[in-house]
Chain A
Amino acid sequence: MTQWALHEEGAAARAPRPARIPLRPGQKRKRRRGTLEGWSFAGPATLVVLGLSIFPAGWALLLSFQKWDGFSEAKFVGTRNYQQLATDPDLAAAIGHTIIYTIIFVPLSILTGVFLAVALNRKIRFIGLYRTAIFVPFVASAAATGILSTYLFNPQFGLVNNLLRVLGIPQQGWLENQHQAMVVIAIMSLWGQAAFTTVIYLAALQDVPSDLLEAARIDGANRWQAFWQVTWPQLAPVTVFATIWQTVEAIQLFDLVYTTTRGGPLDATKTIVYFLWEKAFTGLQFGYGSAVAYVLFAFTLLITVGVVLYARRAKIEAF
């Protein structure tokens, strides 16, 4: 993902910048003044961002080779934390639950985004209202979404079960059922997140050349064929990007689990980050928690690089 930015960086460096007076050799003082001026602009923010990321990230790496509860003396244990997590059945279960969620959530969010974007990409009456209605859940916090989910999907009083009852379908346990809880969480995430994928697909749809579509129609393609043969391939870069983005978000799921099931029922919704949070902040295993965090980081990188490589091989210009 950084590649694009680096590319830009190169372009920026080449761009002419006549506002700056060119240096003649020996003008050291001027150069020093330039450096001072530059950092007086960029310094404070750089300090905050790096101080709150690179520094703690390095510390976390150190911690991951220690055993420490935050109070007593930290003990260096080598790679024991990593060995322990490789055989930890609870972590394996948490990874499994995270994968289940990712498999449900990511394709759903991509499909929802595409379909909603196509539906919203037209000038018909009330379209502004429809857009607003679909986008407004984006501002709902995880805490608010969690409370809403527990009420909507409440087995006794919830709207959803009430609807099933009217339709004559057996009522479900939802968040209290270990096989359904993750599905409910995915649906509610989708409710809040659909706006994101929809918006980026909407932006991409504006860029699909309309003469391509017209040509396809003239060649006898119907709307359905024209979409899948012409529009969808044009959207591929966005799809690659959205897949990476949503996958990274999905494997970091925590908030909505905390505000709905707190990992239950029977640990069925305990995700990697929930496991990490529990170990570190209720179990005070800072070293072990840091090791888990690093494994998660590695996972994230691996998936990102994997999808990017796949896109390269499929000749999709995503980045």
Chain B
Amino acid sequence: MTTIERPATTRTTDEPVVRRARQGQPARRRWRRPSGWHLFLAPVALIFLLPFIQMFMASVSPAKELISFPPPFIPSHIDFGQIATATSPASGFIGLFSSSNIVLWLGNTTVVAIAAIGSHLVLCSLAGYGFARLKFRGRTFGFFAIVATIMIPTQLLMIPTYIMFSRIGLIDTLGAAIVPWLASAFGIFLMRQFFLSLPAELEEAAMLDGCGRWGVFFRVVLPLAKPALATLAIFTLLGSWNDLVWPLIAINNDHAFTLQLGIANFQGTRRTEWSLLMAGNVVATTPLILFFLVAQRQFIATMTFSGLKG
């Protein structure tokens, strides 16, 4: 690194270029020696993408090619698989959709995620606002208790929650996957921090104009809270979509499986049917990958905040 004569940050690299441009050599401005960091970043980026590339390749490979040696990384032709026959098992996307309930699981997971996000946004923003702006008896204690629960590991709660849910008949239903995601300490904390950062003058003005607390909340505060709500929605989406351990404990009925549970179970029963497994993986992962590509900035904001919440 000591031998790189040009510092790679733009702030400093730009200086000589600009100076030259002033001297009347604008043509030079276009060409910059590529940064040495490409030699590091390009292979690293490739390595990070490789598992996904392999997944997409394998999902459309002929089943036989995946268990030949050495396996071709790029399939000889695109093969969407087949339904199970007397001589060969189901494979690929066609086998996946015909021999499993994956469409149902996808629907279940979508229902869980939507219910979780909807409930999270409503309950956590209400509570966050209450704890940030209203003064009422038990406020400090209530908020302290909520923040303290962040320290409790979920493993401690699994057994009693399982017993509780089985008493009220939630086990083996989608409700078991939804209820733990109705609200979270993290969500309340996030929304409270956000509301504290808003200037109170706006709300005061609205209240002077005769707006009640609820009116202020819905008409003034909530429209300003979109960035925080987006962060919360992504946090909830990631958590509820990818959750495995809790559905694994609470749901044993194939019809109430979530997508993650479905493919994890698949892996136990169809250990060597790789094209089928990979097709299932594509179905389970692609929605979030697409979502990430569309809303990358919000995803990063979510990661940063969950890092800073401490």
- Give the interface of A toward B (CB within 8 A): 1-2, 4-6, 8-9, 12-13, 15-20, 31, 34-46, 48-50, 52-57, 59-60, 63, 70, 116, 119-120, 122-127, 129-130, 132-148, 150-152, 156-157, 159, 162, 165, 191, 194-196, 199-200, 203, 210, 222-224, 241-242, 245, 248, 252, 254-255, 258-259, 262, 273, 276-277, 280-281, 286, 289-290, 293-294, 296-297, 300-301, 304, 319
Contact = CB atoms under 8 A, between A and B. Distances in A.
B152 to A, nearest CB: 5
Nearest to B212: A37
A52 B304 contact: no
A32 B213 CA distance: 15
Helix, strand, loop or mixed for chain A's interface? helix
Interface residues of B, number: 123
A52 B135 contact: no
B10 interface: yes
A202 to B, nearest CB: 8
Interface of B: 1-2, 4, 7-11, 34-35, 37-38, 40-42, 44-46, 48-52, 54-55, 58, 66-71, 73, 123-124, 126-127, 129-140, 142-164, 179-180, 182-185, 187-189, 193, 196, 200, 203-204, 207, 213, 217, 238, 241-242, 244-245, 248-249, 260-261, 263-264, 267-268, 274, 277-278, 280-281, 284-285, 288-289, 291-293, 296, 299-300, 303-304, 306-308, 310
A124 B35 contact: yes
Contacts of A301: 151
Contacts, number: 341
Interface of B is mostly: helix
A151 B126 contact: no
Nearest to B162: A281
Nearest to B208: A19
Given A42-B130, A46-B188, A55-B160, 10 more contacts: A1-B150, A53-B185, A119-B40, A132-B296, A138-B299, A142-B244, A151-B278, A191-B48, A242-B307, A252-B153
A141 B244 contact: yes
